Amino acid sequence: MAWKVGAGIAVLLGLVGVAAGLGSDADPRRAGWREAYRPPAEIPFPSENPYSAAKAELGRRLFFDPILSGDGTRTCATCHLPDLGWGDGRARAATRMQGDMDLRTPTLINVAWQDGPMGWDGKFPTLESVAAMPMTSPSNMNLPMADALARLSADARYASAFASAFDDPAITRERLEAALATFERLIVAGTTPFDRWIAGDEAAIGASAKRGFDLFNGRADCASCHSGWSFTDNSFHDIGVGTGADIGRGRFKPTSVALRYAFKTPTLREIGRRAPYMHDGSAPTLEAVIDLYNRGGIDRPSRSRAIKPLHLSATERADLLAFLGTLATERSRDLTTASFTAAVPAP
């Protein structure tokens, strides 16, 4: 009789596993891992720069307007193209003379959830502080801040827009930065097959991608840095890529061994649209990225303890690639024409 009871329990457990979307090869920790990827309820805005529709509309206009470049040929969207995952598709960002900058253009997707210092090397303390550097840089937009404010003040449309977005019509650097940051916080990843799976649609992604998810959170340990709904821990790590003077966060923390060659963990949202990869564009494809992590990168004192040879099989590498493919939307959100609601939008 005991064997019948045991067999009945085994059958019941098998049915429970099927109901939960667990195949015979599923990691038993999968259900718990999935809970960590639930979407947030709303887009966060700082108390010192709260959301308003008028401010978002002003920020969008500024983002796409060449009025903020010295010769009127560049905009924020020159490097942050919506169709390229809000990057530019280059290994390194282009200067206005069509040379190469030191770093690749980072995506703006889910920038609202980026905590702490921003930029590949953390040179910016807040999102609001980012815009002035590319705008005033001679190699980028090449427009002194005083000239930018004078141009905007002389434009009746902008004078009206700033008056609508703020308590008075004064056009200042702080308000210019606040408006751009407000719009940029609305650049949020859309719903992907992965998100539908997290919400309970077991058919949204395939078996290979599910195995890849298990690897991502388990043996490969990608989730130790690419964690949560936005797939980033917002921290800096040496993953064994930078060389020579390309020391990342170490520029600002010269006494820290761990931060030498450390760069900020990027989100993996829309990762398939954002080749090439790494801070320097040195990995041309996602297959190359997986191979890099599989090898473990350059072994040195600053290399993160999470980075080590993984010894993944060809099938496991293919499963990871399949999982990463589920993080892209079928169609990107159109923020160029979208209407902004009065209340803080949901992701």
Over residues 27-35, the mean pLDDT reads 96
Any bridge partners for residue 262, and if so which? 248
pLDDT at res. 24: 59
Over residues 316-321, the mean pLDDT reads 98
Of the candidate ranges 23-27, 74-78, 122-126, 150-154, the one whose mean pLDDT is the lowest: 23-27
- Answer yes or no: are the C-beta atoms of 229 and 288 closer than 8 Å: no
Query: What does the pLDDT look like over 153-183, one tens digit per residue?
Result: 999 999 999 999 998 889 999 999 999 999 9
pLDDT at 12 over 50: no
pLDDT at res. 115: 83
Q: How far is 336 from 82, CA to CA, in rounded Å?
A: 9
Query: What does the pLDDT look like over 186-234, one tens digit per residue?
Result: 999 999 999 999 999 999 999 999 999 999 999 999 999 999 999 999 9
User: Backbone phi, then psi, for 118, in 5-degree steps?
Assistant: -115, 165
Q: How far is 22 from 27, CA to CA, in rounded Å?
A: 8
Any bridge partners for residue 237, and if so which? 263
Amino acid identity for residue 64 in this structure? F
pLDDT at res. 271: 96
User: In this structure, which long-range contacts are made by residues 32-35, counting pairs with CB atoms below 8 Å and at least 24 apart in sequence?
Assistant: 33/213, 33/214, 33/217, 33/223, 34/197, 34/198
Between 59 and 17, whose confidence is greater? 59
Query: What does the pLDDT look like over 286-307, one tens digit per residue?
Result: 999 999 999 999 999 999 999 9
- Answer yes or no: are the C-beta atoms of 64 and 72 closer than 8 Å: no
Label residue 149 by pLDDT band (50, 70, 90): very high
pLDDT at res. 19: 40
Q: What is the pTM of this model?
A: 0.90
pLDDT at res. 45: 97
pLDDT at 92 over 90: yes
Expressed in percent and rounded to 5, the helix, strand and coil fractions of the chain are: 40, 5, 55
pLDDT at res. 14: 38
Mean pLDDT score of the chain: 92
Any bridge partners for residue 87, and if so which? 81
pLDDT at res. 258: 96
Q: How far is 330 from 188, CA to CA, in rounded Å?
A: 14
What share of the chain in percent tops pLDDT 90?
A: 87
pLDDT at 31 over 50: yes
Over residues 39-64, the mean pLDDT reads 96
pLDDT at 13 over 60: no
